[in-house]
Amino acid sequence: MKKIAVADKKVCVACGVCLKTCTKEAITIFRGCYAVVDDAKCVGCGLCAKACPAGCIAVAERGE
Amino acid sequence: MKKKHWYDYLWLWTILYFSLGFFNILFAWLGLIDFLVPLFIAIIGGNKAFCNRYCGRGQLLEKCGKCSRNHAAPKWMASKWFRYGFLVFFLSMFGSMLFQTYLVAAGASSLRETIKLLWLFRVPWGWTYTAGTVADWIAKFAFGFYSLMLTSTIIGLVVNTLFKPRAWCSFCPMGTMTQMICKIKAKERLW
């Protein structure tokens, strides 16, 4: 897996659209504050980035 | 496909709420559930399970997402100043509605059987209420609260269509408020 979703916790509104979209259950909302991506589960498909209404998720190369 | 849960059908509740208020305005009081439950969940549970799972409005907007242009919303719409600004605006409008309810209760102002959309447009809504059924202030609050709920849904639907499904969530006052509570509880930065 070369890519991974990265959520900007400063912009995230913790609405949970990404968790619903993720087919790998790789996203959780940390204590109602912001989305956290589990890098072991994320396959970098970008579904969450497309769905995020706040536009706070980007798909990046792993290890960057 | 993910397994469906009972709470995946709460969008029906939102439709039911608006339908009930179309026939009898007193049902608008039920909207307090949508107002208090998220706050309790945030205060007691310290999470946004309401937004994440139970928000019927969010689910309804998601359903209406088929009509969305699916464009990224402008950056300012999820910015802190806009979110907190909109929260302050929304709460002051809520406060003004409570004050008008008080004025009716005190007899300083009379009950008007109308709802106000987008805080500007008065719409006759008299068929939903028979004068004298309950104390005037109880009816006044119902008209006011229903106005607030319908207004936020209208704004939600507009941004839903223009931008992405659930674009409303990025500046929903309830969402901002519950996230604030969660951030304070988790000792995270608010700004």
String of DSSP letters for A2-62:
-EEEEE-TTT-----HHHHH-SS--EEEETTTEEEE-TTT-----HHHHH-TT--EEEEET
B166 contact residues in A (CB cutoff 8 A): 15, 17, 53
Low-confidence spans in chain B with pLDDT less than 50: none
Residues B42 and A33: beta-carbon distance below 8 Å: no
Separation CA B11–CA B124 (nearest Å): 26
**Could you tell me the two tokens for B147?**
């106005």
| pLDDT in the model for residue A1 | 65
**Partner residue opposite A15 with nearest CB, options B42, B51, B186:** B51
Which residues of A make CB contacts under 8 Å with B? 11, 13-17, 19-20, 23, 29-34, 51-56
In this predicted structure, what is the pLDDT of residue B85?
97
Instruction: Give the start-end residues of each E strand in B63-156.
Output: 114-117, 121-124
Give residue A57's identity as a one-letter amino acid code.
I
Mean pLDDT for the stretch of residues A15-42: 96
Say if residue A21's pLDDT is above 90: yes
Residue A40 is part of a domain; what is its CATH number? 3.30.70.20
Q: pLDDT at residue A64 above 90? A: no
Per-residue model confidence (pLDDT) at position A63: 79
Looking at residue B1, its pLDDT comes to: 61
Contact B78 A55 (CB under 8 A): yes
Mapped onto helix, strand or coil, the DSSP state of residue B55 is coil
Looking at residue B61, its amino acid is L
What is chain A's mean pLDDT, rounded? 94
If phi > 0 it is left, if psi is from -120 to 50 it is alpha, else beta; for residue B63 that is alpha
Domain ranges of chain B: 6-185
Residues of B in contact with A19 (CB under 8 A): 52
- At residue B45, the pLDDT reads 95
Residue B10 sits at φ, ψ, to 5 deg, of -70, -10
Residues pairing with A6 in the sheet? A58
DSSP classification of residue B128: G
CA distance B65 to chain A (A): 11
Q: CA B35 to CA A29: how far, in whole Å?
A: 21
- Which chain A residues touch B42 with a CB distance below 8 Å? 32
B84/B90 Cα distance (integer angstroms): 10
Domain hosting residue A47, numbered range: 3-61
Helix axis angle for B136-162 and B56-63, nearest 10°, is 40
How much is the ipTM here? 0.91
The domain tally of chain A equals: 1
How far apart, in whole angstroms, are the C-alpha atoms of residue A60 and residue A5? 6
CA–CA separation, B177 vs B37, rounded Å? Answer: 12
Q: What is the pLDDT of residue B136?
A: 96
